[in-house]
Amino acid sequence: MKPIAWLRLVFATMLVTSALFPPQALAQVPGRFYWKSLSGGNALPLIYNSVSGNTNPFDPSHTVSPGASVDASVAMAGYAHTFTLADRSAMAAVIFPMGRISGTVTTAGRTFNQSTSGFGDPMLEFNLNVLGPPAQKNIPDALRYEPGVSVDLLADLALPIGEYDSSQPLNIGQNRWYGRLGMPTIFQLGPWVPGRRTTLEFLPAVWLFGENDNYVGQTLKTDPMFQLDAHLTRDFTEHAWGAIDASWYSGGKSSINGVPGSKLNNAGLGFTFGYTVSDNLNLTFGYKSTINDTGPGDMRMDSFMVTLVFGWHPLIEGSKRLKK
In this model, does residue 11 exceed pLDDT 60?
no
The DSSP 8-state label assigned to residue 11 in this structure reads H
pLDDT value for 141 = 85
Q: Which residues pair with 149 in a beta bridge?
A: 187
In this model, does residue 176 exceed pLDDT 50?
yes
For residue 27, the SS3 value is helix
- Cβ proximity of 168 and 209 under 8 Å: no
In this model, does residue 258 exceed pLDDT 80?
yes
Nearest Cα residue to 179 out of 314, 61, 311: 61
CATH number of 3-323: 2.40.160.40
- 184-196: average pLDDT: 93
Q: How many whole angstroms separate alpha carbon 133 and alpha carbon 153?
A: 15
User: What angle in degrees, to the nearest 10, is found between the helix axes of 3-15 and 314-323?
Assistant: 140
pLDDT value for 261 = 82
pLDDT value for 226 = 95
* Per-residue pLDDT band at 311 (split at 50, 70, 90): confident
The percentage of residues in the chain with a pLDDT greater than 70, rounded to a whole number, is: 89
Q: pTM, whole model, 2 decimals?
A: 0.89
| Span 111-137, pLDDT tens digits | 888 899 999 999 999 999 999 999 999
Q: How many whole angstroms separate alpha carbon 271 and alpha carbon 288?
A: 7
pLDDT value for 22 = 44
